[in-house]
Structure 1
Amino acid sequence: MFRNRHVAVTDERYRAVATLVRSRVLANLRCDRGRKGPCRCAESGSWTLDEAEVELLANKSGATRLGFALMLKFFELEGRFPRREDVPKAAVDYVAGQVKVDAAQFAEYRWSGSTIEYHRAQIRRFHGFREPTVADEDKLTFWLADKI
């Protein structure tokens, strides 16, 4: 539990707020094919890499190249990093074609260790994100206390 002068934020309260925010934001999103929620369709173009994203792949090959590309696009779509099972098979196949790596190599991508941590840092930086600080948590707490 986090406590300050104005509000106590428990894990339960945090989950409730996160659910509320997701339901209000995601309820209004539609994918390119008319489905409710953010688009995860490989065919929609959501998984298509642009020039700047391809530049990030320049020094990567094989499973690392494919895994990084998929994490990059997943983060763009979902605002979080995926677990292996979160990445749709259709997206793996589609992105593998773009980066010219066999889709089967995705199984070899390492989901723990310094490489994936470095990849996450590169992706955060590319998208203009940074890890939150205690000051950020305080601001969020005050904002939530005021708005909810």
Structure 2
Amino acid sequence: MTGLHISREDLIGRWSLSYSDIEFVNGKPAPARLGLAVQLKFFAAHGFFVQDHASIPADSVSWLAEQLGVESGAMTEYDFSGRTARRHCAEILQYLGFRRLKRCDREELTLWIAGELCPTGQ
């Protein structure tokens, strides 16, 4: 966890857990909850999953720990490169409604790009 500090507004806006987020996180074993919450909110804020503890602002970990009623020190137990973390990433994507593109999705995207971004065919 980095010594970076983020504003109170960012903590509240980007790192607050909704009731459904808390329900999702609390469905996991206690030792994994804080790590899962960090992955969830980091992905929502940045669009990618965090790879190590050094990329996470300490303030955000403390804020999430407070919301979950756990100690922020529990974060050191979470292995961001481990099997559990990879499974958590897949579960987060599913929870947020992401899915793999299907052929019909690609075709629809191609038509949208052609019509909206490249209407002259270039």
CA change 1:110–1:127 in 2 (3 A) is same
Partner of 2:70 in structure 1? Answer: 101
Answer whether contact 1:63 1:105 (CA < 8 A) is retained. Answer: yes
Percent identity of paired positions between Structure 1 and Structure 2:
29
Q: 5+ residue gaps in structure 2? A: 1-6
Give the whole-Å Cα distance in 1 for the aligned partners of 2:74 and 2:34.
8
Give the whole-Å Cα distance in 2 for the aligned partners of 1:58 and 1:88.
22
With normalisation by structure 2, the TM-score equals 0.70
> Going by fraction, where is helix more abundant, 1 or 2?
2
With normalisation by structure 1, the TM-score equals 0.59
Partner of 1:19 in structure 2? Answer: none
Give the whole-Å Cα distance in 2 for the aligned partners of 1:109 and 1:53.
19
The alpha-carbon deviation at position 74 of structure 1 amounts to 1.0
- Structure scoring higher RCO (CA < 8 A, sep ≥ 6) equals 2
CA RMSD in angstroms, aligned pairs only: 2.9
Secondary structure of the corresponding residue to residue 81 of structure 2: coil
Answer whether contact 1:66 1:106 (CA < 8 A) is retained. Answer: yes
CA change 1:131–1:61 in 2 (3 A) is same
The alpha-carbon deviation at position 112 of structure 1 amounts to 2.1
Q: 5+ residue gaps in structure 1? A: 1-30, 34-40
Answer whether contact 1:62 1:105 (CA < 8 A) is retained. Answer: no
Partner of 2:27 in structure 1? Answer: 59
